[in-house]
Structure 1
């Protein structure tokens, strides 16, 4: 009596098939390749965002320091802040939180925010006029009579595919903040006393009091 060979299962036939192996390899490798491509793109985007935030802080400090009268106006500061658009592009400049201050250093390293400006004080201000022990003063300004401009920029980074990642990883924090602080010597302005660097007074503010300790 002739025996009929048993039929092989579908899984076994798939495993022995070259096309089945190729499909399996494709399924395993493609997600890894996609993740690698995304990772590289995200890294480049993060680095670019960081560089732009840093460049904006330096630009704002430099533009403010060039004031020739020593008394900055609100219109001038808004014009300076307008540089955020082209510098941060293609990122949204409206997301940048900016504050620019005039800093004075008196005897015994008494550090003061002499005057300060922000486009939207209710949203953006992080420093107030007066003695500020939290100031990190660069070594070249640690002397009585030193005056400089302090530009501070904060901005939240949002991932390239943030909306997709939030659905996949709802509990994972994907956004984070860059904070850039730049101390800049005054290039314009004017000195208000012997032994004092030139300074720039922010809109609506007053000059540094050299006697404050």
Structure 2
């Protein structure tokens, strides 16, 4: 049996050494910090895209409600102009639709005209369900919608795409309704 009377000198020096502790701790924390940074960046980018979606749907409705008459060409110009609000996000992933809803004297809401970009417009006469308390008899509303497929810039294969949808109802500003020719 071998018994060491004293411990090796290098073992004592190693136990007392403190110079590499901070580097070792940083090496343990670094992956978490990188993940936190990238996750925060991705979250802020998704929130920014959602805000752009909201601004786009409001712009679409706002530009439409300022008119007293509307042609297909004017509607397409408004749809294309509103789509530009999405920058720097790709507008090709956005489906935009503007419609006018007519609420009759009985409170039944139907589409009187509709136009879409990267999607399908409603057929005239389509019955729609309006939010409670909004459908006032014998009125008209401009209804704008956007459906946007957000693709994360980082880790898109891990996260996948996120559908962002917003709608808004506005009353025509300069007339009782926007006549569509």
Q: TM-score, normalised by structure 2?
A: 0.81
Structure 2 residue 124 is matched with structure 1 residue 162: no
How many equivalent residue pairs?
A: 177
- 1:34 Cα deviation (Å)? 1.1
Partner of 2:52: 52
Question: Stretches of 4+ moved more than 6 A in 1?
Answer: 2-9
2:174 counterpart SS class: coil
> Corresponding residue for 1:176?
162
Distance in 1 between residues matched to 2:33 and 2:121, nearest whole Å = 43
SS of aligned partner of 2:160: coil
1:95 correspondence with 2:90: no
The 1:57–1:202 alpha-carbon spacing in structure 2 relative to 1, beyond 3 Å, is farther
1:106-117 pair list within 5 angstroms: 106-117=104-115
2:78 maps to which residue?
80
Structure with the higher strand share, 1 or 2? 2
In 2, Cα distance between equivalents of 1:109 and 1:24: 70
Question: Any unmatched runs of 5+ in structure 1?
Answer: 190-197, 204-213
Aligned residue for 2:117, secondary structure, equals coil
Residue 43 to residue 149, structure 1, CA distance change in 2 (3 Å):
same
Aligned partner of 1:128 among 123, 128, 138? 123
Q: Which secondary structure does the structure 1 equivalent of 2:147 belong to?
A: strand
The separation in 2 between residues aligned to 1:98 and 1:7, in whole angstroms, is 76
- Give 1:146's aligned residue: 139
Deviations, residues 61-115 of structure 1 (Å, cap 9, x unaligned)? 11111223x2x22221222122235411110112110111010001222110111
Shift of 1:27: 2.3
Looking at structure 1, the residues matched to 9 and 160 of structure 2 have their Cα atoms a distance apart, in angstroms, of 52
- RMSD over aligned Cα, in angstroms? 2.9
For residues 113-139 of structure 1, give each alpha carbon's deviation from its aligned partner in whole angstroms, at most 9, with x where no partner exists: 11111134xxx1264322424x22463
Q: TM-score, normalised by structure 1?
A: 0.70
The partner residue of 2:178 within 187, 197, 200 is 200
- Unaligned runs of 5+ residues in structure 2 are none
